[in-house]
Structure 1
Amino acid sequence: MIKVLKSGFFMTVQDVGRFGYRDIGVPVSGVMDNDSAAKANKLLDNPKEAALLEITMTGPTLQFEAPTYICLSGAFLSPTLNNEPIGNYQVIQVTKGDILSYGRLEKGFRSYLAIKGGIQTDIVMGSRSQYHPVTPNKCLKDGSSVAYEETVSFEPAISGLKVDRKFEEETLEVYKGPEFSILSDAQLGSLFGKSFSISEKNNRMAYQLGELIQGHKHSMLTSGTMPGTVQFTPAGRLIILMKDGQTTGGYPRILQLSEDSICQLAQKKFGDTISFKLL
């Protein structure tokens, strides 16, 4: 077991996601930054669908109750093991009683903690990803615990990676959305000609952008959406759906983020800026 001594800001169990239930309104969920999570699991020789912990902005304090091996990835939150600094993208052995802590957020926004063999919480609708009300709780709280299988010895094929994630990169690559054609020349000029800031309204469901562009009067039937869909409200607000976002919506879907851009946006926080580049 991992015992959660302090949970931090928002920590959840996530895997690659919950598929096959969008027709009944269940979002995909899963890791926000698939690239970072996949690299951590790969270093531990875990299957790509292995569940891990997604840690947002402020890290937890965790105690391991059995020996295992871990790997951290994504955002860098100044982690320590038994008060000794450790790095991301390294296979690290832990023993019973070891305490993993996090400090100051230095870069990025979401960090991942992978454990050899994966987190062993209940599978609900084909996934371990936490999403309330599909799962009992939306996140891990102080005093909770999560199970994993003890690993006494492990010889990784690669003990570490040098990964240069450009967390300051602003440009998000996007495709045209189904309603892209409703945009006027003036709206297109604003959409691709300036930067947008991440508003305080950002979470696993969606990222709202702070700046408006010229609005519209286009009406449409409620239609399907997916992670990375950029919705355009009549008032000119841009809303980018993320992994816990709704499965349908009534706003025009003017853009669709690439998978890499979803990972990139997941590492942005309030006040950071982005711009769009059409593929």
Structure 2
Amino acid sequence: MIKVLRPGLMTTVQDLGRTGYQKYGVITSGAMDPLAHRIANLLVGNSGNEAALEITLVGPAIQFEEDTLIAITGADLSPTIDGEQVRAWRPVLVKKGARLDFKYAQKGCRAYLAIAGGLDIPIVMGSQSTYLRAKVGGYKGRALETGDRLSVGSSSALSKQILKQLAIQCGNKPFAESRWAASENLYPPLEKRRSVRAMKGLQFHWFQTASQTGFFEKPFYVTSESDRMGYRLKGPALQLKQAKDMISEAINIGSIQVPPDGNPIILLADRQSIGGYPKIGQIASIDLPLVAQTKPGEQISFTEISLEEAQELYVEMEVSIEQLTQGIYLKMTREGA
């Protein structure tokens, strides 16, 4: 069991999303940064899709009511346990009664807190993800609040082994970190200026030549009107060659729509299921974490990539995730933490 002492700006329960229901108008939701989410879960011996806490910009304070194995990934929110700095991207044993505090995001926008065994909350349409607008899923369909208490699920055998090894080195301290961590090569660096790889969208040819060129050559800035549904960008206005009407069609995470004002919108985890604005681009899956970790006011630029290149990068990422999964298992079965 964990208790929320302070909720932070917006802390929600997310897994990898509610799939298979968009044909009914039910959105996917899920982690904004699925890569950081998956790695956090793997580090504590969970499957990659277990529910974890997504922490946005300003973090919570959480007290642990039993010995718990956790991992923190994603943005740097300066986490501490009982006032002592704790490192991210590795398993951490937190002793009963200890307090985990997050500050504000120094690098990136969203951190993820995974707990061995996941969170024991109801599954709604195949997912534990929170969709705030509809008050569906997660913890009572909302962001966490002061005083909330969340139950933890049953740990896997791997989780118990990691916890057992860390308990040996913990002693009387409030927490113990593993000596090993996920490789830095698994995750892109969190710079303020981000170059995001994107493919031409289905309606790319509808746009004026200057807009086609400007989309890939000039920077855009994330505005304060951005949220989990989409990032609104400000930059060179993107104009059509001529006004066109189009029938709404299915959209995907990372689709870049352009409404009549010419300012593009990147559609993200809480996107609608269909859209009727022309799409100038589609962000490659490999770079969705870069978008999710961009704060309002920070800069994004787009670099053209082919579908084939994007697919190759996606396969490489999945291979790296599988290597991490196998590496953790082998380390724990052969060497210990």
The aligned residue for residue 145 of structure 1 is: 149
Q: CA deviation at 1:121?
A: 1.2
**Larger helix fraction of residues:** 2
| 1:203-218 correspondence runs (5 A) | 203-216=227-240, 217-218=243-244
Q: CA deviation at 1:2?
A: 1.2
SS of 2:45's partner is coil
SS of 2:88's partner is coil
The aligned residue for residue 199 of structure 1 is: 223
The aligned residue for residue 250 of structure 1 is: 276
1:155 aligned residue (145, 162, 179): 162
What's the TM-score once normalised by structure 2's chain length?
0.79
What is the rounded CA distance, in whole Å, between the counterparts of 2:154 and 2:6 in structure 1?
A: 22
Supply the RMSD in Å over aligned alpha carbons: 1.8
Kindly provide the amino acid, as one letter, of the partner of residue 122 in structure 2: D
Could you say if the C-alpha distance between residues 214 and 37 of structure 1 is closer, same or farther in structure 2, counting changes exceeding 3 Å?
A: closer
User: Are the equivalent residues in 1 in contact too, given 2:118–2:154 (CA < 8 A)?
Assistant: no
**Larger strand fraction of residues:** 1
SS of 2:199's partner is strand
Q: CA deviation at 1:7?
A: 0.4
Q: CA deviation at 1:15?
A: 0.5
Select the structure with the greater relative contact order (CA < 8 A; seq sep ≥ 6). Answer: 1
The aligned residue for residue 167 of structure 1 is: 190
Kindly provide the amino acid, as one letter, of the partner of residue 19 in structure 1: T
Q: Which runs of 5+ in 2 are unaligned?
A: 166-177, 306-337
Kindly provide the amino acid, as one letter, of the partner of residue 145 in structure 2: K
The aligned residue for residue 125 of structure 2 is: 125
2:259 aligned residue (215, 233, 237): 233
Q: CA deviation at 1:153?
A: 4.5
Kindly provide the amino acid, as one letter, of the partner of residue 152 in structure 2: Y
User: Are the equivalent residues in 1 in contact too, given 2:207–2:238 (CA < 8 A)?
Assistant: no
Kindly provide the amino acid, as one letter, of the partner of residue 218 in structure 1: K
Kindly provide the amino acid, as one letter, of the partner of residue 277 in structure 2: Y
What is the rounded CA distance, in whole Å, between the counterparts of 1:5 and 1:27 in structure 2?
A: 31
Q: Deviations over 1:219-246 (max 9, x none)?
A: 2111111211100112211001000011
Q: How many residues align?
A: 279
What is the rounded CA distance, in whole Å, between the counterparts of 2:225 and 2:11 in structure 1?
A: 18
Q: Deviations over 1:181-204 (max 9, x none)?
A: 212211112111210011111111
Q: Deviations over 1:104-160 (max 9, x none)?
A: 422111000011111121100000001132334231122212210376953279742
Q: Percent identity?
A: 36
| 1:1-279 correspondence runs (5 A) | 1-132=1-132, 133=134, 134-135=136-137, 136-149=140-153, 153-155=160-162, 159-163=180-184, 165-168=188-191, 169-216=193-240, 217-279=243-305
